[in-house]
């Protein structure tokens, strides 16, 4: 009897997959992805809202590592911002959670500025920071990206994981870079806001300075017997270095006696523009007003003023041009001395001729001992004097050519021949200057003019009254 062939077991038939179970799993996966996307979207929206509404950069930067760590589900995140000059912005170094990165935050806060600045360019500084953070977190894996503002590196954003190496999707990397970019925008926005605040502070100071200077310049021309006066200063900036003044040599006199007393008529210009020139102009005004009370002749007054101002002007590396004159209504005699200022123009009505008033002298503040020349003349009815600063003759026109002295002389001659009073002559000269420079164009330098005119038919005043 033959033996039975050995028994072979038949494998059980494979059970078909349950379609209901597969559908549930897929739905759960999709729901999980949807929840993650919604969470990430909410986190990014929160950061964007903070960027739109933030008023405190520090609060915003505190959120950056917190949202970054949650966004990519990392163990920790670290933000290391930099100043514009490359120094660590220590008060804004933040990590979340603090435990895993507390040591590296402490080390970065203690890092001397020179250690980072000595690295050279921005890329080298970033590499230096990466190496330092990696050494402090040697057991962790890092992913780092740059925080940029206007094409300059303003920091590094690190994501820390205990897994080695870090494996994230491209979406995670894009999310981290998006946070870094928003951080760069926040830093740049804060910089622009601070610049704006600084400009506003400077504008307020300039406005105050302009108001003070406007109060120092005569707000109206004094009444001086036998002459008409008109004056105007147009600064290139809010505060300027041009100076003119009318100073009574007998300030204690009142009424007619004050009008008939000797008056100093001064035109000056501090080299330069803006606040420094304005401050020096104010200083010179005080010194000169004190000197006028001495009663000395013009050349002596400029000599003494030069010695008084020598030290202050030497420290500022600036100089002053000044034309000093005094007028005596009782004799119609004008005495004058010049410290290298533009010589005033004199229109002689009787001769229908234009002259220049000048005498030898150097700049105020150039050297300690200077001798100034002086001269005098008697004014006649119809005579006109124009004091001016070089901001008038140096004003550029639309073609780039300067207004220059010959053009000013022609304009002055024409205005005097028209028979206008002092104010009319001044208005005509500024109107011609404005037309030459161009409408709504700012002058490059302060421009000032003073017109002194002896009306026709004037007689010498009497001391009576």
Residue 461 lies in a domain: no
Which two three-digit tokens encode residue 270? 């501090």
Q: Is the pLDDT of residue 1 over 50?
A: no
The neighbour count for residue 198, using CB atoms within 10 Å, is 10
- Runs of H (alpha helix) within 19-56: 19-53
Preceding omega of 252 cis (within 30 degrees of 0) = no
pLDDT for 250: 87
Q: Are residues 126 and 256 in the same domain?
A: no
Q: Are residues 237 and 364 in the same domain?
A: yes
Cα(250)–Cα(259) distance, integer angstroms: 10
Q: Are residues 165 and 236 in the same domain?
A: no
**Mean pLDDT value across residues 96-113:** 89
DSSP 8-state assignment for residue 407: H
Residue 261 lies in a domain: yes
Q: pTM for this structure?
A: 0.60
* Domain hosting residue 59, numbered range: 30-193
The neighbour count for residue 64, using CB atoms within 10 Å, is 26
Residue 204 lies in a domain: no
The neighbour count for residue 144, using CB atoms within 10 Å, is 18
Residue 8 lies in a domain: no
Q: Are residues 116 and 72 in the same domain?
A: yes
Cα(270)–Cα(264) distance, integer angstroms: 19
Task: Count up the domains in the chain and report the number.
Answer: 2
Categorize the per-residue pLDDT at 35 as very low, low, confident or very high, splitting at 50, 70 and 90: low
Cα(88)–Cα(104) distance, integer angstroms: 13
Q: Which residue has the higher pLDDT, 143 or 387?
A: 387
Nearest partner of 299 among 368, 357, 375, judged by Cα: 375
**Would you say 122 and 83 are in contact if contact means Cβ atoms under 8 Å apart?**
no
Q: In what side-by-side order are the strands of the sheet with 353-356?
A: 228-234, 447-453, 384-388, 345-348, 353-356
Question: C-alpha distances in angstroms, 447 versus 86, 285, 322, 356, 389?
Answer: 43, 18, 14, 19, 6
Longest dimension (CA), the chain: 173
Preceding omega of 154 cis (within 30 degrees of 0) = no
Residue 3 lies in a domain: no
Residue 338 belongs to what H/E stretch? Answer: strand 333-339
Q: Are residues 364 and 449 in the same domain?
A: yes
Strand, coil or helix: what is 16?
coil
CATH number of the domain that residue 368 is part of:
3.60.40.10
Nearest partner of 324 among 309, 305, 310, 351, judged by Cα: 305
Q: Are residues 226 and 375 in the same domain?
A: yes
- Runs of H (alpha helix) within 73-169: 98-110, 113-117, 122-136
- Give 412's contacts (C-beta < 8 A, 6+ positions apart): 345, 347, 354, 384, 386, 425, 429
pLDDT for 58: 84
Sequence length of the chain is 465
Categorize the per-residue pLDDT at 409 as very low, low, confident or very high, splitting at 50, 70 and 90: very high
Summarize pLDDT for 425-435 with one digit per residue, the tens.
999 999 999 99
Q: Are residues 229 and 310 in the same domain?
A: yes
- Give 98's contacts (C-beta < 8 A, 6+ positions apart): 105
Max avg pLDDT among 85-89, 164-168, 460-464: 85-89
Residue 94 lies in a domain: yes
Strand, coil or helix: what is 55?
coil
Question: C-alpha distances in angstroms, 399 versus 185, 341, 407?
Answer: 43, 27, 15
Find the range with the poorest average confidence among 11-15, 134-138, 270-274, 286-290. Answer: 11-15
Which two three-digit tokens encode residue 342? 């533009």
Summarize pLDDT for 122-180 with one digit per residue, the tens.
999 999 999 999 998 887 888 899 999 888 899 999 998 876 555 667 777 888 888 88
Q: In what side-by-side order are the strands of the sheet with 320-328?
A: 242-248, 263-270, 320-328, 333-339, 375-378
Which two three-digit tokens encode residue 396? 């550029």
Nearest partner of 75 among 103, 97, 93, judged by Cα: 97
Q: Are residues 269 and 394 in the same domain?
A: yes
- Which residue, of 137, 159, 193, is where some domain finishes? 193
Q: Are residues 154 and 81 in the same domain?
A: yes
Residue 43 lies in a domain: yes
- Which residue, of 157, 177, 193, is where some domain finishes? 193
Q: Are residues 421 and 350 in the same domain?
A: yes
**Would you say 97 and 69 are in contact if contact means Cβ atoms under 8 Å apart?**
yes
Find the range with the poorest average confidence among 252-261, 264-273, 411-420. Answer: 264-273
Which two three-digit tokens encode residue 234? 């147009």
**Mean pLDDT value across residues 51-73:** 79
Q: Are residues 227 and 358 in the same domain?
A: yes
Q: Is the pLDDT of residue 463 over 50?
A: no
Q: Are residues 292 and 331 in the same domain?
A: yes
- E strands, 97-238, are 141-149, 152-161, 228-234
pLDDT for 317: 75
Residue 460 lies in a domain: no
CATH number of the domain that residue 98 is part of:
3.30.450.40
- Which residue, of 193, 227, 246, is where some domain finishes? 193
């Amino acid at each position: 009897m033959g033996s039975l062939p050995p028994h072979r077991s038949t494998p059980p038939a494979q059970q078909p997959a349950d379609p209901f179970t597969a559908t549930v799993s897929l739905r759960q996966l999709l729901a999980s992805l949807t929840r993650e996307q919604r969470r990430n979207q909410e986190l990014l929206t929160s950061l964007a809202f903070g960027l739109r509404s933030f008023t405190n950069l520090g609060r915003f930067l505190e959120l950056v590592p917190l949202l970054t760590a949650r966004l990519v589900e990392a163990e920790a995140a670290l933000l290391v911002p930099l100043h514009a000059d490359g120094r660590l912005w220590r008060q804004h170094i933040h990590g979340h959670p603090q435990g895993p990165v507390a040591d590296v935050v402490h080390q970065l806060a203690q890092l001397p500025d020179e250690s980072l600045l000595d690295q050279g360019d921005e890329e080298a500084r970033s590499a230096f920071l990466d190496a330092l953070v990696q050494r402090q977190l040697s057991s962790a894996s890092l992913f780092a990206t740059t925080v940029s503002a206007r094409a300059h590196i303003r920091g590094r954003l690190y994501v820390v994981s205990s897994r080695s190496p870090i494996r994230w999707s491209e979406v995670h990397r894009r999310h981290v870079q998006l946070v870094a970019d928003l951080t760069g925008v926040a830093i740049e926005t804060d910089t622009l806001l601070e610049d704006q605040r600084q400009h506003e502070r400077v504008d307020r100071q300039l406005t105050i300075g302009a108001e003070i200077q406007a109060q120092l310049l005569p707000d109206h021309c004094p009444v001086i017997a036998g002459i008409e006066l008109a004056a105007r200063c147009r600064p290139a900036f809010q505060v300027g270095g041009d100076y003119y003044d009318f100073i009574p040599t007998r300030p204690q006199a009142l009424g007619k006696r004050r009008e008939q007393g000797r008056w100093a008529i001064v035109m000056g210009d501090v080299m330069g523009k803006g606040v420094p020139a304005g401050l020096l102009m104010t200083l010179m005004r005080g010194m000169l007003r004190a000197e006028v009370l001495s009663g000395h002749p013009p050349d002596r007054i400029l000599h003494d003023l030069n010695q008084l101002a020598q030290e202050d002007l030497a420290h500022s590396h600036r100089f002053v041009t000044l034309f000093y004159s005094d007028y005596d209504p009782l004799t119609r005699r004008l005495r004058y001395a010049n410290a290298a200022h533009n010589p005033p123009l004199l229109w002689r009505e009787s001769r229908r001729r234009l002259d220049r008033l000048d005498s030898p002298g150097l700049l105020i503040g150039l050297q300690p001992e200077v001798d100034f020349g002086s001269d005098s003349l008697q004014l006649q009815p119809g005579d006109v004097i124009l004091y001016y600063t070089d901001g008038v003759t140096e004003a550029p026109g639309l073609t780039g050519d300067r207004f220059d002295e010959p053009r000013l002389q022609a304009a002055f001659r024409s205005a005097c021949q028209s028979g206008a009073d002092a104010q009319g002559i001044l208005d005509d000269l500024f109107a011609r200057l404005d037309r030459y420079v161009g409408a709504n164009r700012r002058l490059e330098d302060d421009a000032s003019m003073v017109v002194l005119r002896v009306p026709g038919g004037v007689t010498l005043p009497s001391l009576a009254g």
